[in-house]
Structure formats: C-alpha cells, structure tokens
Amino acid sequence: MMYTDSDPIIAIATAPGYSGLGIIRLSFGGAGAGGAMQLMNALFHSQLRPRYAVYVPFFDTTGVPLDRGIGLYFPAPHSYTGEHVVELQGHGGPVILHLVLQRCLDAGCDIGLRLAQPGEFTRRAFLNDKLDLAQAEAVADLIDARTEAAARSAGYSLEGAFSRDVHRLVSAVVDLRMLVEATIDFPDEEIDFWRAADAPGKLSNICDALATVQRNAKQGALLREGVSIVLAGQPNVGKSSLLNALAGAEVAIVTPIAGTTRDKVTHTIQIEGIPLHIIDTAGLRDTQDEVERLGIAQAWSEIKRAEIVLHLLDARNKISKEDYEIAQHFPVGVPVVRIFNKIDLAGIQPNVRDSVDGATREISLSARTSIGVDLLRAELLRIVGWQTCQESLYLARERHLRALNAARVHLTTATQHATCNLHALDLFAEELRLAQEQLNTITGEFTSSDLLGAIFNRFCIGK
C-alpha cells in the first residue's frame, strides 16, 4: 500500500504497558476539518470545542461507551502537526486502548484513516513548517535523553537555539554572496569592492562564528552520544575494581584470582552530565583455557572500537615486556591513559603526569580505596574536550557535525581564493554557495527525501 503525507493518521502516543493514562493521537491530513468532524460525531456523538479539554465517553458502534476520558481538538494550523488534530486521553490499559484505536480506524475508514508510521506526526510538523529539521530531531533526542544535561540541551535545541545560530550563519553567508555576485559583472570594480565592502573581514567573521557553533555542537554531541572507554591490561591489575570505583557500585566481580573476568562488562556512568560507557574486559595474556581465549579475543575487539583506552598496570611492578607488547597493539590515534593501580599497596601518592616519552598520560591511583580516581575523571573530561560551566548547550548529531565541517572546508577554500587571487570572484562565490548549502541541510532547507526517511524512521510510533 502506498502511503502519502496527506493521509489521515492515528497512533497510540503513550508507551506500551499498563498505566493510569493512555493517549491516542489523530492528525487528519488532507481529510481536513470534515474528516475531524466525522470522527468526532462517530466517537463522541458530539463536537469538541477547539482547544478545550472536554470529558466525554468514547462510544462503540452500538452506542455503548468503551471508555470515558478527555477529548481535545486542535484545528489547523494551530496544532503540533499543523493539521487538524484530535487527541484522546483515556485509561492506559493495553486492551482498552486498542479497542478505542480500532473504533477510530473503523469510524475513519471512509476518509482513509490509517496507522501512523514511526515519527510521522513529527514529520508532518516539519513538512508543515511547525518545526525545522534540527528541532524535529531534538524531539527524539529529548525522548531518548539519558542524563539531565542531555535532556536540558535537547530542550534548548527544541526551542530553536541551534537553528537560530545556523540561520545567523546562513544569513551572513547570503549577505556576502550578494556583495560578491553583484560585483562579478563589473570586473573593473573588483578591487574597490574588496576594499569598500571589507569582504575578507566579513568572511573572517563568518569563519569565527562557525568555529563557535562547531565547538558548541561538539559539546552537545558528547552529551547525546557519550564516549566508549575500554579497560585493558593483564589479569589481576584491577580493571574490575576500577569499573566499580567509577560506577560507585559493585557492578563487576572482583577476586584475587587472575582471569576472573571472562566476558565483557559494560556500565554507563556520568561525569559532568556526559555519558561514559565503561567496558571491562578479560585480562590480556597467553592462555590454553578456551573460554578465557574467547574472552581475550572479545577484549581485543572492544579495544579496536574504543574511543579511549585505559591501560591498567600494577603500581608495585615495573612496566613489563608484556605490558609494552599490549600497548603496541592499541589502535593508532586513540587516546591511551596508562593507569598505575594499587598505589595503596605500593606506598605511592596519587598523581598525573606525562610518560617519559611524552606519548601518553599516566595516572597513579587506587581503585580499591578510590584514592586518585577523581584525577582520572578530570583527565577523561580533558581528553574529550569538555568545557565546564557551559550553559544552554544544544544537542547535535553526527550529521550536523559533518555538515558544519563541510561548510568550514568550503569557507577555508573561499579564504584561499580571496588570498591568492582577487580576481577569482566566481570561485569565491561558488565556495560560499556550497557552504550555504551544507548549513541548510542542518535545518532542512536543503534536504533529500531519503534523509528525511532515515531520520524519522528512528522515532517512536505516535511521535
């Protein structure tokens, strides 16, 4: 069956399960006010007053109430989707919700009412200019937020903070494009244009503003995605103890027996609101135990995917040949922190320092007593580039970061054209156009239907 963006749609908007309240949402698309009136007559035997909460029975086909609850009617365009919308708030039992849902589908059969696809209500809101694409994505981010900081930042994005910054950048690029393209047809005036309009200065200001947006977006992406951190090292160096210290709970089994950890243990903690996904792995060594070998293979697989590796060693011993061999197999370009654990047994004070060769950072701590663990937390924040005391950050996704980086590349190329050849205004103008195009993909002014499908298909049904 072919679906269109003008079909009337319906879905249960609350999560599956038993609850005191359940919500069913309808958006009438091309059926308009007539479709809404038809369904209200069938379901309520009356019309709802726009934007008023009315306590009404939800009737079945024989006129017997299925349930009683609140009916809400939002005429277009003053609704979430920009279309005529009806919401039913009844009891949250799965059986009664589905009975009311089916009654609505039967009553709306003549107008083509169908079940909504994931994210279709928010897609309608985007298509009807109630939200731009960055705001629409913030709806899903707000629902999926795992930390308070992420939820606040998603709310800030939903209010349009990210979009406003992007629109300001686009506006500045457009203004500069107008100046450049108006001058291309007058080659004798090009030098005067650069002097009078201060085009290089305007371009420099745009680049500076873009850099600020990029920094904020990267911070927001940290709040949304978090960072994957793998604990690696030989058996019995305290990897599981460090996981417990960071988590503040006994999430991994700790024994004096080497090789206790056979399978990975994953736990997510928060530092300054950033989700850090800590992965404890099997001790790395040569072994004939088949189960332990499988655990070690899994450990190396996790290390290859890690964004940060914590290499644990026993502070009582010198760095061994095996430790060096392990370190040589860490992925290139991934930050590694060398952790000297068990300082409580070695009589060493906690500290942070650069390694002798300057290739990595070293921290001495005690996972068992948690002495020095705060040094590790601070070092992790430094590695991910987190800047404290940041308020009103907006959440950003990987596609946003890619678009911002692509825009930066085009602006950098434009700067090179301006520096090397004052008469290459056509090339300068083209790079500005490409930068603007990249920025517009963030808010949806320039967006393919395939991208929209990929974005909204990840939403929950009913949103």
Residue 265: is its pLDDT beyond 60? Answer: yes
Do residues 371 and 266 share a domain? yes
Mean pLDDT confidence for 242-263: 65
Helix (H, G, I), strand (E, B) or coil at 110: helix
Residue 434, pLDDT above cutoff 90:
yes
CATH number at residue 319: 3.40.50.300
> Total structural domains in the chain?
3
Average pLDDT value for residue range 96-119: 94
Band of residue 421 on the pLDDT scale cut at 50, 70, 90: low
Average per-residue pLDDT for the chain: 86
- Is 350 in the same domain as 266? yes
Co-location of 354 and 402 in the same domain: no
The answer to whether 150 and 141 have CB atoms below 8 angstroms apart is yes
Task: Compute the average pLDDT of residues 221-250.
Answer: 86
pLDDT of residue 188 exceeding 70? no
Average pLDDT of the residues in 296-306: 87
Distance separating alpha carbons of residues 274 and 271, to the nearest angstrom: 5
Running DSSP on this structure, what letter comes out for residue 270?
A: E
Task: Check whether residue 241 and residue 320 sit in a common domain.
Answer: yes
pTM of the predicted model, to two decimals?
0.76
- Measure the CA–CA gap between 276 and 270, rounded to whole angstroms: 6
| Shared-domain flag, residues 173 and 278 | no
Write out the residue range of the structural domain in which residue 427 sits.
139-222+397-444
Q: What is the mean pLDDT of residues 301-330?
A: 90
Closest CA to 259 of 230, 229, 291, 231: 291
CATH, residue 207: 1.20.120.430
The answer on 80 and 39 residing in a single domain is yes
Asked if residue 403 belongs to a domain, the reply is: yes
Per-residue pLDDT, 239: 87
Whether residue 373 is contained in a domain is answered as yes
| Mean pLDDT of the 120-136 span | 92
Q: Are residues 146 and 188 both part of a single domain?
A: yes
Centroid of chain to Cα 224: 4
Is 3 within a domain? no
User: Which residue among 67, 91, 126 closes a domain?
Assistant: 126
Kindly report, residue by residue over 53-73, the tens digit of the pLDDT: 999 999 999 999 999 999 999
Identify the domain boundary among 88, 103, 126: 126
Residue 46: CATH number of its domain = 3.30.1360.120
Interval 4-18 mean pLDDT: 92
Q: Which of 97, 126, 155 is the last residue of a domain?
A: 126
DSSP sequence for 324-379: HHHHHTSPTTS-EEEEEE-HHHHT---EEEE-TTSSSEEEE--TTT-TTHHHHHHH
Q: Across residues 156-160, what is the average pLDDT?
A: 87
Is 90 exceeded by the pLDDT of residue 170?
A: yes
Within this chain, do residues 378 and 403 fall inside the same structural domain, yes or no? Answer: no
CA 133 to chain centre: 13
Report pLDDT for 391. Answer: 55
Least confident interval from 76-80, 100-104, 113-117, 298-302: 298-302
Q: Are 192 and 372 in contact (CB under 8 A)?
A: no
Q: Looking at the predicted structure, is the pLDDT value of residue 437 above 90?
A: yes
pLDDT of residue 298 exceeding 60, the answer is yes
Identify whether residues 99 and 143 lie together within a single domain: no
pLDDT band of residue 194 (cuts 50, 70, 90) is low
pLDDT of residue 392: 57
Does 268 fall in a domain?
yes
pLDDT-wise least confident of 350-354, 378-382, 414-418, 429-433: 414-418
Examine the domain organization and report whether 242 and 359 are in the same domain: yes
Assess whether 283 and 374 both reside in one domain. Answer: yes
pLDDT given at position 190: 52
Residue 22 has pLDDT above 90, yes or no: yes
Q: Which residues contact 436 (CB under 8 A, 6 or more apart)?
A: 170, 173, 174, 177, 407
Helix (H) or strand (E) holding 73: strand 65-74
450, part of any domain:
no
* The pLDDT value given to residue 390: 54
pLDDT of residue 184: 66
pLDDT for res 196: 65
pLDDT confidence bin for 201, thresholds 50/70/90: confident
In this structure, the answer to whether residues 345 and 264 fall within a common structural domain is yes
Confidence of residue 131 (pLDDT cuts 50, 70, 90): very high
State the pairing for strand pair 308-314/227-233. parallel
pLDDT band per the 50, 70, 90 thresholds, residue 1: low
Would 316 be classed as within a structural domain?
yes
pLDDT band of residue 192 (cuts 50, 70, 90) is: low
pLDDT at 262 over 60: no
pLDDT above 90 (res 210): yes
The whole-number average pLDDT for the span 334-353 is 92
**Per-residue confidence at 253, pLDDT binned at 50, 70, 90?**
low
Residue 59 lies in a domain: yes
Q: Is 292 among the domain residues?
A: yes
Output the pLDDT for position 193: 61
> pLDDT band at 301, cuts 50/70/90?
confident
